[in-house]
Amino acid sequence: MPYNQPQNEPHLQHVQVDCVGLGSDYNGVVHFPEGMEDVFTYPNLFATLLEDGSWSEDDLAKVAHQNIIRALRDMEEVRDQVRVCVH
């Protein structure tokens, strides 16, 4: 199914690629953006962003998973530093 909901794309154009990630936790959400009803729509959004040339595959990999992995590792590092200071 082609992704044809351009109203979702401008929001992504205003963020730095290293500072954003897409989440799938729609728990409690009543209204979904059209074309973004669940994670199965993400490939359509990514294909559109690749086609218009505004995002690279590396950018989308960051948004899809690399940024959150980096953030979690950074948090673990801070946790470990705090643990050393407390003991």
Model confidence pLDDT, tens digit, residues 6-50: 555 556 677 788 988 887 777 788 887 777 888 888 898 889 889
pLDDT of residue 4: 53
Residue 50: which residues within 8 A CB-CB, separation 6 or more?
A: 56, 57, 60
Least-confidence region, from 29-38, 48-57, 71-80: 29-38
Residue that wins the pLDDT comparison between 35 and 1:
35
The b/e string for 61-83 (b: 16+ C-beta within 10 A; e otherwise) is ebbeebbeeeeeeeeeeeeeeee
pTM: 0.72
Spell out the domain ranges in the chain.
6-86
Residue that wins the pLDDT comparison between 83 and 67:
67
pLDDT of residue 1: 45
